[in-house]
Structure 1
């Protein structure tokens, strides 16, 4: 986990710079565009992850970690319905995830964003205190279990790495995380430009 943190730091920082949810001038349209962009990334990515991780790392409890249902709750609160959600753009340049190690690296990015999302959640609650925007379901994520879910993820990665006992396995986990950060950041920059929301 320390290696992941160290070797993905520049990728993490570039991606973090594309997230504008902490801006004091954040508008409702900006917030909606960001959620639409997350939806466009998570829908195809979680499908790919499910195919890679199904039964491969039981301790990960991957099925409990999917964010698409939470994103859809938030987007429906902002005016979307099933039909308009289906028309939202989907990211075609996903990180390559040829195997379980790369998929674990990808989940590291997604779970890290869930952990970091707690700071964003507090900001959004203050910023939109008097605006009906829904319940920030995707940033609430696991509620009081955010910390324990992060620790469980870390333990699952360590167990998978120990069982593989391979430098190649660990390097592939790191590469999966780096590629996910880069794909995520590029997609956010493209999709959260100041263009009309698709609600």
Structure 2
């Protein structure tokens, strides 16, 4: 399933990656914060939808350990937000519907893949902002030393949660739709931002 997802979502993944500007050598602190705010606007409603569809049904997914909104909140609080300002951040209005398990698993694949890929971003941010008061990069640090094992556990749990090969196209569609939502939202959020964002 993971190989099918990787192959079938590659162009969607690549388009979404192109609007992530965190690896720029000219990244500013305000650009980093703006990107985290945009991610919060994606993850908060998306994780709510995933919880409504999946929580309690597949304990092997270990969903409570995978939620990233608390990590984004920690990073944003370290950058000067408070609870009230977090509540005012815009949220993506056009996320895909995740009312069925296969599509929700596809969306979760995108989030878990982003956690895996975020390790490269973490290394860059740690070097780039060395000595600056930017917090602990909780979102990109995510599972710490357990990123690889958590990814492997997700792949195994995905097969147990969706064993029917006939459901694979729906899982793929959920992942593709989620990548497209990420790309559209980040493109919109960054549209008026300077190129060094």
Question: Which TM-score band applies after superposition, normalised by the shorter structure?
Answer: over 0.9
- For residue 4 of structure 1, what is the aligned residue in structure 2? 5
Following TM superposition, the consecutive aligned residue runs of length 4 or more in structure 1 with deviations greater than 3 angstroms are 193-196
Q: Which runs of 5+ in 1 are unaligned?
A: none
**Partner deviation per Cα, 1:101-148 (whole Å, 9 max, x = no partner):** 101000000000000000000000000002110000000001111111
- For residue 105 of structure 2, what is the aligned residue in structure 1? 104
Q: Which of 184, 187, 190 pairs up with 1:189?
A: 187
Q: Post-superposition shift, 1:98?
A: 2.6
CA distance in 1, matches of 2:110, 2:12: 10
CA distance in 2, matches of 1:16, 1:139: 15
TM, length-normalised to structure 2: 0.95
CA contact (8 A) 1:41 1:91 kept: yes
CA distance in 2, matches of 1:79, 1:194: 22
Q: Equivalences for 1:116-135 in 2 at 5 Å? A: 116-135=117-136
CA distance in 2, matches of 1:159, 1:4: 16
Kindly tell me the number of residue pairs found equivalent between the two proteins: 193
Q: Equivalences for 1:10-89 in 2 at 5 Å? A: 10-89=11-90
CA distance in 1, matches of 2:153, 2:87: 33
Q: Post-superposition shift, 1:160?
A: 2.3
CA distance in 2, matches of 1:119, 1:27: 18
- Aligned-residue CA RMSD (Å): 1.2
**Partner deviation per Cα, 1:157-191 (whole Å, 9 max, x = no partner):** 112232xx241x11110000000000011111111
